[in-house]
A and B are shown apart, each in its own frame.
Chain A
Amino acid sequence: RVSSDGKPPKFQPPPKPVIIDRKTQKEERRFLSPEFIPPRGRTDPLKHYIERKDMIQRRKVFNIPEFYVGHVLAVTTADPYASDKSNRFVGICIQRGGKGLGATFVLRNVIEDQGVEICYELYSPRIQAIEVLKLEKRLDDNLTYLRDALPEYSTFDVNMKPVSRMEHEEIPVNKLQVRMKPKPWSKRWERPKYNIKGIKFELPEHKMKAAQKWNQPWLEFDMLREYDTSKIEEKIRKELSEELEK
Chain B
Amino acid sequence: MMPIWTKSGEKHAVTLLKVQDCHVLRYVSKEESGGKTAKLLVGGKNVSPFSKPESAHEIFVEAGVPRKQKVTTFNVTDDAIIKPGTPLYAAHFRPGQFVDVTAKTIGKGFQGVMKRWGFKGQPASHGQTKTHRRPGAISTNQAAKVYRGKKMPGKMGNIYRTSFGLKVWRINTKHDIIYVNGSVPGHTNCLVKVRDSKLPTYKDCNKNPPFPTFFADGDEELPEDLFDEEIFQFTDPSVTYT
Contact = CB atoms under 8 A, between A and B. Distances in A.
Given A47-B16, A102-B3, A85 B189 contact: no
A42 B3 contact: no
B3 A78 contact: no
B236 interface: yes
A62 B237 CA distance: 7
Contacts of B5: 124-125
Contact of B189 (A44, A100, A102, A125): A44
Interface in B1-60: 2-3, 5, 9, 11, 16, 18
Contacts of B241: 78-80, 85
A121 interface: yes
Contacts of A46: 18, 175
Given A42-B189, A44-B189, A51-B2, A128 B16 contact: no
Contacts of A102: 2-3
B189 A78 contact: no
A106 to B, nearest CB: 17
A101 B238 contact: no
A124 B2 CA distance: 12
A78 B2 contact: no
B240 A62 contact: no
Interface residue SS majority, chain A: mixed
Interface stretch (A8-16, A53-61, A156-164): A53-61
A120 B11 CA distance: 13
B235 interface: yes
A50 B232 contact: no
A57 B5 CA distance: 14
A50 B234 contact: no
B142 interface: no
19 contacts: A42-B189, A43-B188, A46-B175, A47-B2, A50-B16, A50-B172, A57-B235, A58-B234, A61-B235, A61-B236, A78-B241, A79-B241, A102-B3, A121-B11, A124-B5, A124-B9, A125-B239, A126-B9, A127-B238
Interface of B: 2-3, 5, 9, 11, 16, 18, 172, 175, 177, 188-189, 232, 234-242
